[in-house]
Structure 1
Amino acid sequence: MLTPGAGSGAPGPGGNPLRLEFPQSLAVYDDYAAAQRAVDFLSDRKFPVQQCMIVGTDLKRVERITGRLTTGKVALGGAASGAWLGLFVGLLFVLFTTEGALPILISTLIFGALFGVIWSLVGYAATRGRRDFSSITQVIATRYEVLVEHKVAAQARELLAQLPGSQPNPFA
């Protein structure tokens, strides 16, 4: 939260390290690397960068489709994850028993794989074909704003004006 008077940027009594006291916009960038470059530039000039914050704004969720799901792929994935779980349980059993380790590990691995196949296929059947694909998702920001505490804003603007390729913030 960027509320006025919420803290000094440093953890303190009731303070939150993710808050600035009366934050002001220093600059807005299209990518994180440019915002990071600006703060690094300030740091190189001995500016108190602990009074800065980079805030990603205009968030969007991106989902990358990685492939088509089939019953076979779901079963194979379930078997693999179940086998790992079975192996883990087997290792725990081996720690607390005096019997042979190999039969315990093999049996728990097989039971785990079987359980994983059944569990994943039941889950897949429950979707009734509404999601027959696999994907990965990520939330990303489309803009990055560098904020600075009000008491050092003028100094930060003067320094940042020296950064090659920088443009003044029209909102500052």
Structure 2
Amino acid sequence: MFKTAPTVILPNVEDRPVVGSYSTAEQADKAVGFLAGNGFPVERAGIVGHDLRLVETVLGRASVLRSAGAGAATGLWFGVLAGLLLPLFTGGSPVALMLGGMAYGALFGAAFGLVSYWTTRGRGFLSRRDIVADRYDVVADAAVADDARNLLVKHSWRNPG
């Protein structure tokens, strides 16, 4: 007989009062960390981002060498993983299998990097995408919201701004 995983019921955000509001995710994370460090049951808290937007940061110009290098580096890590696992299933030398996995991983990764570069000819740059919010609210269950709010007042006194 199979056991089913317990159903997790997330609290409704509207039922959880705001106990602190911050302009960056790092500030909200530090506030929740402060709550955790002071014995607050953080499993009864959460962070809600408002007014989300996508921000794309251009990292540089794409090139054949850069694409092949990035692919090779990714493939190398895959090769390390394969090289660690193969000795468990084969009788081969762990060092030889590791080096072989790294070499093949880097080779195939570089090839996939080049294919990726050539298939995206129209996009001549590399970028990173992030989702950011204008405001981050720390919320808590109504039963413990006053405790959280009082602790965060102390946090604000210790860490202004």
Into which bin does the TM-score normalised by the smaller protein fall?
0.5 to 0.7
Instruction: For structure 2, list consecutive stretches of 5 or more residues without a partner in the other structure.
Output: 1-5, 157-161
Counterpart-to-counterpart distance in 2, 1:91 and 1:101: 7
Among 124, 133, 149, the alignment partner of 1:141 is 133
Counterpart-to-counterpart distance in 2, 1:103 and 1:152: 58
Counterpart-to-counterpart distance in 1, 2:81 and 2:45: 45
Calculate the aligned-residue CA RMSD, in Å: 4.3
Return the offset for 1:114: 1.3
Secondary structure of 2:121's match? coil
Contact 1:21 1:150 in 2 (8 A): no
CA offset digits 1:45-96 (Å, max 9, x no partner): xxx9988765321111122222222100111111122122123222222223
Instruction: For structure 1, list consecutive stretches of 5 or more residues without a partner in the other structure.
Output: 1-12, 166-172
Equivalent residue letter for 2:133: A
Counterpart-to-counterpart distance in 2, 1:84 and 1:72: 19
Counterpart-to-counterpart distance in 2, 1:15 and 1:99: 45
- The answer on 1:90 being equivalent to 2:45 is no
Question: How high is the TM-score relative to the length of structure 2?
Answer: 0.61
Among 127, 131, 151, the alignment partner of 2:120 is 127
**Between the two proteins, what is the percent identity of the paired residues?**
35
Among 103, 106, 118, the alignment partner of 1:113 is 106
Question: How high is the TM-score relative to the length of structure 1?
Answer: 0.57
Return the offset for 1:126: 0.7
After superposition, residues 5-154 of structure 1 pair within 5 angstroms as 16-19=9-12, 22=15, 30-31=23-24, 33=27, 54-130=47-123, 132-145=124-137
Query: Which has the larger helix fraction?
Result: 2
Counterpart-to-counterpart distance in 2, 1:111 and 1:119: 12
